[in-house]
Amino acid sequence: MNRKKFLGLLGLGGLATLSRNSFAANAPQTEDFTYSGGKAIVISTWYHGLAANDAAWAILKKGGRSLDAVEKGVMVSESDPTNLTVGLGGLPDRDGNVTLDACIMDEKGRAGSVAFLQHIENPIAVARLVMDKTPHVMLVGDGALRFALENGFKKINLLTDESKRRWEEWKKTSKYETPVNIENHDTIGMLAIDSSGNISGACTTSGMAFKMHGRVGDSPIIGAGLFVDNEVGGAVATGVGELVMRTCGSFLVVENMRRGMSPEKACKAAVDRIVAKHPSVADTQVGFLALRKDGKYGGYSIHDGFDYALTYEGHHAMVKTAHSK
């Protein structure tokens, strides 16, 4: 059942009230309007988003903060050793090191980020501490690790038997490829609105499998992998980070929404920009997900295959995005 049909059955389609939303009150509505104002909602990338949304929803439904919801939500994926692209068990770089990137942003426009962090299971929690406890936005590498250890995080081995096995298999050809969908990259990006109407986001990944040692993608870069503006909405990116960074992808999606585009159109316009500037995207996936302040959500990707988990009161299911190729 598609999203519009489902909402139609629930009778939610016409409940739009724009009281808290000065942006939407002034913006043209270009598509059907989905309202969750005053109610919580959480969306996150890829299938593993369902379990992550469960943890986020447990916080949101009790009236908790969207910031706590996105942090605790994506930690589920980070701590899942069977997930080969986030946190523990993430596929390593070409030298066998698991290096992690994550960032978080709240409704006040505060942000925290870690990149090229090793040995720590939950980089998103370190990113949150960078935001909460330091005068900085981003810590990387050994500095980020030292900060984590000083704050009580445990140093562990993130390379599981399975991720090691895959790395050893990869070494037989040592060919670096960026398969289109979840084959070697399925970052979790999550956006949530809480019952106070505040929006926050989080993004965490082990990055592209078998990358060069030291490579950092878009996921920990505020404005690339994640951007939140509580006046407008938030966006997250997944896919080949180099393309997302070159277009400040998530910032672009939020700015598109600020100019009045629906979430899906805002994501599509960002994808179109990438495809226009970098036409050789035959084997390269990028997907964006956006959540507007009024509760309308949407996504769009270059290729078929990108989907996201959507959770709000009475609803918990995957949604497939439209795509350009």
Contact residues toward ligand SD4 (CB under 6 A) are 185-187, 205, 207-208, 217-219, 238-241
What's the gap between Cα 203 and its chain centre? 4
Instruction: Point out the catalytic residue in the list 187, 204, 238, 311.
Output: 187
37 versus 49: smaller Cβ distance to ligand SD4: 49
Nearer to ligand SD4, 147 or 288 (CB): 288
Indicate the residue among 177 and 231 with the shorter CB distance to ligand SD4: 177
Kindly state the smallest distance separating residue 216's Cβ from ligand SD4, in Å: 8
Contacts of 45 (CB under 8 A, 6+ apart): 186, 187, 188, 189, 190, 236, 238, 287, 289, 306, 308, 309
- In this structure, the number of other CB atoms found within 10 A of the CB of residue 176 comes to 13
CB 109, min distance to ligand SD4, A: 22
Continuous H helices in the chain:
3-10, 22-26, 49-60, 66-78, 123-133, 141-150, 161-171, 241-246, 249-258, 263-277
Q: Which amino acid is at 96?
A: G
Cβ proximity to ligand SD4, 187 vs 311, nearer residue: 187
What CA–CA distance (Å, rounded) separates 269 from 260? 12
187 is catalytic: yes
CB of 257 to ligand SD4, least distance (A): 21
CA distances from 236 to 5, 248, 315 (A): 25, 11, 21
In the complex, minimum distance from the CB of residue 31 to ligand SD4, in angstroms, rounded to a whole number:
26
Q: How far is CA 61 from CA 47, 55, 298, 319, in A?
A: 21, 10, 22, 21
37 or 207: CB nearest ligand SD4? 207
Q: Under a CB-based contact definition with an 8 Å cutoff, are residues 213 and 58 in contact?
A: no
User: What sign does the CA torsion over 284, 192, 46, 322 have?
Assistant: negative
Q: Shortest distance, CB of residue 217 to ligand SD4, whole angstroms? A: 2
- Which of 9, 212 has the CB closer to ligand SD4? 212
The least CB distance from residue 39 to ligand SD4, in Å, is: 29
Question: In sequence order, which residues have a C-beta less than 8 Å from that of residue 135 and are 6 or more positions away?
Answer: none
**Residue 108: count of CB within 10 angstroms of its CB:** 12
Q: What are phi and psi of 115, to 5 degrees?
A: -140, 150
Q: Would you please indicate which residues are annotated as catalytic (active-site) residues? A: 187
